């Protein structure tokens, strides 16, 4: 059987998310017997109705992969049902996860019949080949907070089944791939004995073989993190269970360029003219559509110059039609830089002030080698009180002083 793995659509993130995810799924539908989607299909926990509608169109168009293939969905050991329209088999990631008792968007699409939510279910994908039936069994765990992943996997006690090609799907950071994420689970924490492990979460494609486990991550179908590795082509994976071969299929996506310029004691004019040269070079390429550009300006300015002296307004206006430009000026004072970063992340990651502040606080404490247990309880409570009252600025002051 041919398994397609398409991930991290981030529906609702921007105008590229829907067409790029749809293209990936529709293309996969024509080449594969089943489509698996390991999480972060939506960008926020409670998407707008326009986003839900677009997603419904894409999931509807993605149905019907693999002719003569059917899905048998085991709700429990004795409750199962069958589907012959072969919808995408998905899980929720970190972006869709909600507290217990609240409705989850992936389960909503499962109930509506547009997806199969594989979390804590067993899905058999069966295909008749001559007199035989080929069988793929998909088991999965939806995204959990990183520090809980290893424990959750242990508790759920996943086991491969006999007579099938066994796939395990999840949505977590993996320590071997993201070493700086110390709370991440390791390859050894994954349940043993599956033929293929499929992960989302990381936005650029990866393949890893370790301890007898074969892990593949297709990356996102849209650029959301504006980091250097996201400049790699976007697409999805096809895995052939008979040949054990893996192929990456590129999709049409908005080009993305990441550039960083470093300055030392520069004048405003030097910064602006070098920035302009970079933008002119990118705009001069034969781009299929206006590229997304992340331009980082870092380093120091000549004495007495503040970052406000570097006025990029005219430059941004000049390239507004040709480029989707995100300019990062990190030439200012440290505290201001952190404030801007905080606001940017609140906006782009659609996180609440509380979530971002909690992350920064954790980071700051770690820098000072203080564990959160050692942090005076009163200080933490005061911080959350401020945040709950919407006093973001006051809370930020506290976090930056911590
Ligand atoms: Mn993601």
Q: How far is the CA of 122 from the centre of ligand 1 (A)?
A: 24
Q: How far is the CA of 95 from the centre of ligand 1 (A)?
A: 7
Q: What is the pLDDT of residue 333?
A: 45
Q: How far is the CA of 10 from the centre of ligand 1 (A)?
A: 7
Q: How far is the CA of 69 from the centre of ligand 1 (A)?
A: 29
Q: How far is the CA of 227 from the centre of ligand 1 (A)?
A: 13
The span from the CA of 343 to the CA of 351, in Å, is: 10
- Indicate the domain borders of the chain: 2-250, 254-332, 335-402
Q: How far is the CA of 235 from the centre of ligand 1 (A)?
A: 14
Q: Are 4 and 65 in contact (CB under 8 A)?
A: yes
How far is residue 199 from each of residues 39, 174, 272, 295, measured CA to CA in Å?
8, 9, 42, 30
Nearest CA-CA partner of 66 in 87, 91, 39, 37: 87
Q: How far is the CA of 201 from the centre of ligand 1 (A)?
A: 4
Q: How far is the CA of 313 from the centre of ligand 1 (A)?
A: 31
Q: What is the pLDDT of residue 368?
A: 61
Q: How far is the CA of 215 from the centre of ligand 1 (A)?
A: 17
Nearest CA-CA partner of 355 in 346, 364, 344: 346
Q: How far is the CA of 184 from the centre of ligand 1 (A)?
A: 15
Query: What SS3 class is residue 330?
Result: strand
Q: How far is the CA of 242 from the centre of ligand 1 (A)?
A: 30
Q: How far is the CA of 222 from the centre of ligand 1 (A)?
A: 9
Which residues is 198 bridged to in the sheet? 169, 216
Q: What is the CATH number of domain 2-250?
A: 3.60.21.10
Q: How far is the CA of 285 from the centre of ligand 1 (A)?
A: 29
Q: How far is the CA of 83 from the centre of ligand 1 (A)?
A: 28
Q: What is the Cα 28 distance to its own chain's centre?
A: 19
Q: CB-based contacts of 374: which residues, under 8 Å, 6+ apart?
A: none
Q: How far is the CA of 352 from the centre of ligand 1 (A)?
A: 17
Q: How far is the CA of 8 from the centre of ligand 1 (A)?
A: 5
Q: How far is the CA of 153 from the centre of ligand 1 (A)?
A: 20
The span from the CA of 311 to the CA of 329, in Å, is: 10
Q: How far is the CA of 220 from the centre of ligand 1 (A)?
A: 7
The span from the CA of 146 to the CA of 210, in Å, is: 20
Q: How far is the CA of 267 from the centre of ligand 1 (A)?
A: 39
Q: Which helix (H) or strand (E) holds 126?
A: strand 122-129
Angle between helices 353-367 and 392-401 (to 10 degrees): 10
Q: How far is the CA of 348 from the centre of ligand 1 (A)?
A: 12
Q: How far is the CA of 219 from the centre of ligand 1 (A)?
A: 8
Q: How far is the CA of 384 from the centre of ligand 1 (A)?
A: 27
Q: Are strands 213-217 and 206-210 parallel, antiparallel or unpaired?
A: antiparallel
What are φ and ψ of residue 41, in 5° steps?
Answer: -75, -25
The span from the CA of 152 to the CA of 325, in Å, is: 41
Q: How far is the CA of 379 from the centre of ligand 1 (A)?
A: 32
Q: What is the pLDDT of residue 228?
A: 86
Q: How far is the CA of 284 from the centre of ligand 1 (A)?
A: 31
Say what the pTM is: 0.79
3-state helix, strand, coil in the chain (%, to 5): 35, 25, 40
Which residues is 146 bridged to in the sheet? none
Q: What is the pLDDT of residue 334?
A: 45
Residues with CB under 5 A from ligand 1 (ion): 8, 40
Q: Are 77 and 83 in contact (CB under 8 A)?
A: no
Q: How far is the CA of 177 from the centre of ligand 1 (A)?
A: 15
Q: Where do the DSSP E strands lie in 241-341?
A: 245-250, 256-266, 292-301, 324-330
Q: How far is the CA of 350 from the centre of ligand 1 (A)?
A: 12
pLDDT tens over the chain, length 402 residues: 999 999 999 999 999 999 999 999 999 999 999 999 999 999 999 999 999 999 999 999 999 998 889 999 998 888 899 999 999 999 999 888 888 888 899 999 999 999 999 999 999 999 998 899 999 999 999 999 999 999 999 999 999 999 999 999 999 999 999 988 889 999 999 999 999 999 999 999 999 999 999 999 999 999 998 888 888 899 999 999 999 999 999 999 999 999 999 998 899 999 999 999 999 999 999 888 999 999 999 988 888 788 888 999 999 999 999 999 999 888 864 445 566 676 777 667 666 666 666 676 666 666 666 665 665 555 666 666 666 555 666 666 666 665
- Length of the chain, please? 402
Q: What is the Cα 88 distance to its own chain's centre?
A: 18
């Amino acid at each position: 059987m041919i398994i397609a793995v398409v991930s991290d659509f981030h529906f609702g993130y921007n105008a590229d998310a829907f067409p790029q995810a749809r293209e990936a799924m529709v293309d996969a539908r024509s080449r594969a017997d089943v489509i698996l989607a390991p999480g972060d299909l939506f960008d926020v926990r409670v998407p707008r109705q326009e986003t839900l509608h677009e997603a419904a169109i894409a999931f509807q168009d993605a149905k019907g992969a693999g002719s003569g293939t059917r899905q048998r969905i085991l709700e429990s050991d004795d409750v199962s049902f069958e589907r012959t329209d072969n919808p995408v088999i998905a899980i929720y990631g970190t972006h869709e996860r909600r507290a217990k008792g609240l409705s989850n968007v992936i389960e909503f699409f499962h109930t509506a019949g547009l997806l199969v939510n594989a979390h804590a279910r067993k899905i058999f994908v069966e295909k008749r080949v001559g007199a035989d039936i080929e069988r793929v069994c998909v088991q999965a765990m939806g995204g959990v907070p990183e520090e809980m992943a290893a424990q959750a996997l242990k508790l759920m006690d996943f086991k491969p089944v006999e007579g099938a090609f066994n796939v395990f799907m999840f949505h977590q950071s993996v320590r071997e791939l993201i070493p700086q994420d110390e709370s991440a689970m390791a390859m050894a924490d994954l349940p043993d004995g599956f033929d293929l492990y499929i992960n989302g979460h990381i936005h650029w494609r990866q393949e890893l073989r370790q301890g007898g486990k074969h892990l593949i991550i297709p990356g996102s179908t849209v650029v959301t993190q504006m980091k250097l590795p996201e400049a790699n082509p976007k697409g999805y994976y096809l895995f052939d269970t008979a040949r054990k071969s893996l192929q990456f299929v590129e999709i049409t996506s908005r080009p993305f360029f990441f550039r960083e310029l470093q300055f030392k004691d520069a004048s405003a004019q030097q910064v602006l003219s070098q920035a302009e040269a970079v933008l002119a070079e990118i705009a001069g390429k034969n781009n299929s559509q206006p590229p997304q550009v992340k331009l980082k300006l870092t380093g120091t300015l000549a004495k007495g110059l503040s970052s406000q002296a570097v006025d990029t307004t005219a430059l941004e206006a000049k390239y507004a039609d040709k480029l989707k430009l995100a300019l990062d000026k990190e030439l200012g004072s440290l505290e201001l830089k952190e404030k801007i970063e905080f606001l940017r992340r609140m906006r782009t990651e659609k996180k609440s002030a509380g979530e971002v502040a909690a992350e920064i606080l954790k980071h700051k404490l770690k820098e000072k080698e203080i564990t959160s247990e050692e942090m005076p309880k009163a200080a933490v409570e005061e911080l959350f009180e401020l945040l709950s009252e919407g006093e973001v600025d006051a809370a930020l002051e506290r976090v930056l002083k911590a």
